[in-house]
Structure 1
Amino acid sequence: MNGRTVLISGASIAGPALAYWLGRHGFRPTIVEIAPALRTGGNAVDYRGPVHLGLLSRMGVLEELRAVQTGGTAMRFVDEHDRRLMEMPSDFAGGDVEILRGDLSRILCAAGAEWTEYLFGDSIAALDETPDGVDVTFAGGARRTFDLVIGADGVHSAVRRLTFGPERQFVRHLGYYVAGWDVPNDLGLGRDTLNYNVPGRLVSIGGDHRDPDRAGAFVAFASPEIAYDRHDLSAQKRIVRERFAGLGWRVPRLLDALDTADDLYFDQICRVDIDTWHRGRIALVGDAACGATIGGMGNGTAVVAAYVLAGELAAAGGDHAAAFTRYQARIGAFARRAQRGGGGAGRFLAPRRAYGIRVRNWLHNQGWFMALTMRVAGDRSAGIDLPDYEATLV
Structure 2
Amino acid sequence: MTAATASSSERVAPARVYKLHTRPAWRRILLTREAAIIALLILVIVVASATVRNFDSPLTVTYLLRSVAPILLIALPMTLIIITEEIDLSVASIVGLTSVMTGILTNAGWPFAFAALTAILVGVVCGAVNGFLVTVVGLPSLAVTIGTLALFRGIAVGLLGTTAITDFPEFWTDLAKANIPGTPIPVIMIPFVVLAIIFAVLLHFTPFGRTLYAIGLNKEAAQFSGIDVGRTKFILFVLSGAVSGFAGVYFTLLYSNARGDNAMGMELQIIAAVLLGGVSIFGGRGALHGVIAGVLLIGTLGSALRLAGVTSDIINVITGVLLIASVVSASLLGWLQKRRTAAIGKRKGRAGASTDAT
When normalised by structure 2's length, the TM-score is 0.29
Instruction: State the structure with bigger RCO (CA 8 A, min sep 6), 1 or 2.
Output: 2
- Give the structure with the higher percent helix: 2
Q: Based on CA coordinates, which of the two structures has the bigger radius of gyration? A: 2
